[in-house]
Amino acid sequence: MRLTDLLHPHLDGVTTVVDATTGGLRLEPYLHLPPGVVLSRDERPIGEGELVLLSYGPDPDLHGTEDDCLAVLERMRPGGRGLLLFGHREPPYHRLLDPLVTHGCQVLRAAPLGYVHLHAGAVFARTDELLPPHDWFGRPVPSDGFATALRIADEYVFADLASRSLRARVLDLEQRAEEAERAREAVHEDGLAERLAAAVREKERLAAALRGARDRVGVLEARVTMLEGSTSLRVGRALVSAARRPGRGMAGLPRELYGLWRGRRRTAKRSVPAKTPAAVDGAALAASDDRLHLVHRALSSAPRDRLVIAGILTDHTAEDFAADAVVNRLLPHDASLLVQRTDPDAVVVQLSACTGEGPWSPAGTGLAPDLDRTLAEVLTEARALGRAIVLWRDGPAAAAPGLTRLAWDAVLDTDTGVRLSRLDPAEHGRERLWEAFRQDSTRVRLAELARLTGAPDPLDGRRVAVLAAPRDRTDAARLVAQVLGQHHRPSEVVVPDPAGLEELDGAGVTVRTGPPTAAWVADWTDPAEDRPDTLLLDLMCAQEHSQADALGRTAADDDYTFVTELTRPLLVRRSLHHAGTPPETWSGAGYRLFAVRGKEPS
């Protein structure tokens, strides 16, 4: 919620808003006060027709202190109103509850705020009688004093019931996390991980020694071959053979020696350079190379900007993950080598890949001890190399109980999501695509994995930069309302002058000048255009569904279909925007264009 959404419903009859904040907050750009309401800053008492702003948070230099709030409450007079802003993620309202009651202040409405440094706000009024509370939409509920008291008491009991169940759930999750951490520490205390790492290092040392021995054997074989072809050895063999059979051997010896001498002279006349020992050694090393050369593997020499996975995955999951990550599938015969050579961010084992069909079936079920042993060796080697190992438990754990006995860095108890290109808008509806985009898509699931491993976030591909050019304060206020009202909020707003857009910074939207840096660019340079709150959500859903390079409207107003021309591009890939080519040439240049018919703005 924006600050204006909380404040404006309570400005009826208010002519002056008094800023009593003592920290570094500058609230004026957030207020957007209507005509007839002025903003002032003084220390006079707050009475009828006035509303005071005060804040309290963890940073005294920014939000102010509790004592500052208590001093403001002492200035309240009957009819005065106030807006209390909290910088805490969990507002410590209990510290101000008694002072509010002592000074006759009733809280009318409290709501969370969507800003980086302000997380909640509460509107209160100084009164001598019980005032009616407000509903979820900020409208007062008409009732007399007794009915109001009953409503407040009943809502308090029900709210406490809901909060108790949530608190119990949080405590349960915290207890499980602590138990898991203790179990992991116990494993480390036993030295199992260290012993396994030492075993892996010893195995690598022995393998290196074996490769060296094979290389030396190859060099010796090459030298023996060279000696066997020498003239001296052949002459010696001829003499030994003649000596063993004097009758026939001595008669043919001169002819054989003469042939060797003639062959040597012919060889000497040839201008063929002799092989150096280094060349012989190199040939021998090449001949004795026992390394496996991987045929199908993803490799990039550019800076890593995508999640890299080495995984035991089903065909369906591997195909879906490959749209947003680099995926290398592990097989029982090359899993260890792949983990070493591909440098993954995470080694992922999908439970369905072990319980269904595939090369790893039925690993973890106890029916294939060799596979279980191979899997344990792969995970041990991955841990020794510093790679995160993750169990993607997309099915019942009882189906593969052996997997639960392995030591995992993280466990994801969820499905692998749905790829938006597999959904048909005509069949499933536009709302289903929106829901999958925000909660159930494959990219969202991979973002959870990236957060666990510290890898590049796949959701960075959804970042949108809005190009705008507000001309005055009215245009700036309109731009702020449209940006913060989007269901898929832009990550940055690019304007010629950032003045008057401080609320966007406070809401976590970067305001900057210069070229856009987000993956997608939306042109909002027309300040008078009405834009629905689902505009960017609809466009990004269509892009992820179609993998198009530009989206917008067409003259025929086609909907969810590829087209050859866009009358109005609404969302463009950043590289295409930087290219500066006219839209009518995009299709001929090989770019994919997609048409979306959005809902009309309300």
Give the domain CATH number at 43.
3.40.50
**CA 532 to chain CA centroid, nearest Å:** 27
Q: Which of 98, 122, 142 is the last residue of a domain?
A: 142
Judgement on whether residues 342 and 479 belong to the same structural domain of the protein: no
Residue 295: per-residue pLDDT: 46
Same-domain pairing of 226 and 110? no
Q: In this structure, is residue 420 part of a structural domain? A: yes
Count of domains forming the chain: 4
Q: Which domain holds residue 573?
A: 463-595
Tokens found for residue 348: 């992922």
* Residue of 102, 118, 122, 22 lying closest to 67 (CA atoms): 22
Q: What is the mean pLDDT of each run of 10 residues along the chain (602 residues)?
A: 92 94 90 93 92 94 92 94 93 90 91 92 92 70 73 78 79 79 61 64 77 80 73 66 61 61 54 46 44 48 80 95 94 90 92 92 90 92 90 92 90 93 90 93 95 92 96 93 96 94 94 95 93 95 95 86 92 95 93 84 44
How far, in Å, CA of 601 to CA of 122, rounded? 31
Give the chain's end-to-end CA distance (angstroms, integer). Answer: 19
583 in a domain, yes or no?
A: yes
Are 479 and 449 within one domain? no
The pTM (predicted TM-score) of the whole model is 0.74
Answer whether residue 282 is part of any domain. Answer: yes
Examine the domain organization and report whether 427 and 470 are in the same domain. no
Domain presence at residue 151: no
| Beta strands at 81-86 and 120-126: parallel, antiparallel or unpaired | antiparallel
Q: What's residue 518's pLDDT?
A: 96
**CB neighbours of residue 47 within 10 Å:** 15
**207 falls within a domain:** yes
Do 427 and 514 lie in a common domain? no
Compute the 3-state secondary structure of the chain and give helix, strand, coil in percent, each to the nearest 5.
45, 15, 40
Residues 130 and 220 in one domain: no
pLDDT of residue 201: 73
CATH assignment of the domain containing 500: 3.90.550.10
Residues 489 and 446 reside in one and the same domain = no
Residue where a domain terminates, one of 255, 287, 319: 287
CA distance 150 to 153: 5
Asked which of 399, 427, 453 is the last residue of a domain, the reply is 453
Q: Is residue 169 in a domain?
A: no
Distance CA 446, CA 423 (A): 18
Q: Are 111 and 6 in contact (CB under 8 A)?
A: yes
Q: Are residues 231 and 250 in the same domain?
A: yes
111 and 212 fall within a common domain: no
Do 475 and 387 share a structural domain?
no
- Residue 183 inside a domain? The answer is no
pLDDT of residue 291: 45
Give dist(CA 507, CA 113) in Å, integer.
Answer: 9
Burial annotation 498-513 (CB, 10 A radius, 16+ → b, else e): bebbbbbbbbebbbee
One domain for residues 447 and 520: no
Q: What is the pLDDT of residue 296?
A: 46
Q: Give phi and psi for 149, each to the nearest 5.
A: -65, -40
- Report yes or no on 209 lying in a domain: yes
- Which pLDDT score, from 0 to 100, does residue 272 have? 45
445 and 468 in a single domain? The answer is no
